[in-house]
Amino acid sequence: MGSGANSKRKGEMMTDKAESAARALLEAASANKLMQAFPDATAPTNIVEAYAIQDAQLVLIGEPIAAWKVGPSASDFPETCAPIIASRLLASPATLSGDLPLKAVECEVAFRLAKDLPAAHAPYNADKARDSIGTAMVAIEAVETRYIDWPVEKKIWALADNQSNQALVVGPEIPLPDPTSLGELTATLDLGGKVKVADKGFPGGDPFTLIAWLANHLANRSPILAKRGLKAGDVVTTGSWNGVDFAETGMNVTANFEGLGSASLAYR
């Protein structure tokens, strides 16, 4: 983790509050310890502050972004997103530590961009987002929280914690299928031999609308993210088809989407 002073010289405007909160989250993750609260009244109180904490973590870690997770709006909360750094984007089959406390998993459909979507060219719509995509793949999101309570009571806290992302495991890629067929995919999640049939259809509706929202959202983020936008090669995962399920230490987890492929994760 780089120093705050060095990070700020890179052009990122971190507030002391965001930096302190970001350090607390990163230290909790590194020590595999859960937080009861943020230190010294640094907890986010609104969505803007939550995203500022996400951005501060990126600066402190100093790793490039490789992927994004994006989620639909709810009755009491707008669309959300979180960056996934390169070390947390894993090729299937992947292994994570069985010492992780939550071991929650979600089966998802992810897309890899073949073209940039620069923030300077926003706004984007679903058609432009779809035209930027090169491949699709099955993904398993490994979910962990840095807080002591699960589910996380305050959605803003979860947002600051990169929407509880631990890793994204992606299976083999295929050319983007007919978009009209994607919502009809049949998905299963195998948890150590116990198979669960997932709901049919994207949980947030049209995934390309969500990707367009993400590209537009980045135009209003911190200067580094606004300059970056979405890049060719970025993977975007578009929400869980199974809600949240829980693995155990020693368990193999496989997500399978008929016609799209599979991805596997083991906790050891």
CATH class of this structure's domain 65-267: alpha beta
Q: Is the pLDDT of residue 149 over 60?
A: yes
Record the pTM: 0.94
Q: In this predicted model, which residue has the larger pLDDT, 43 or 178?
A: 43
Confidence category of residue 200, pLDDT binned at 50, 70, 90: confident
**What pLDDT, on a 0 to 100 scale, did the predictor assign at position 75?**
87
How do residues 4-23 score in pLDDT, each as one tens digit?
A: 434 443 445 689 999 999 99
Q: Tell me: pLDDT of 224 over 90.
A: no
Tens-place pLDDT, residues 58-89: 999 999 999 999 999 988 999 999 999 999 99
Q: What is the pLDDT averaged over residues 36-40?
A: 93
pLDDT above 90 covers a percentage of the chain that reads: 87
* Residue 9 pLDDT: 37
For the chain, the structural domain boundaries read: 65-267
N-terminal to C-terminal alpha carbon distance within the chain: 26
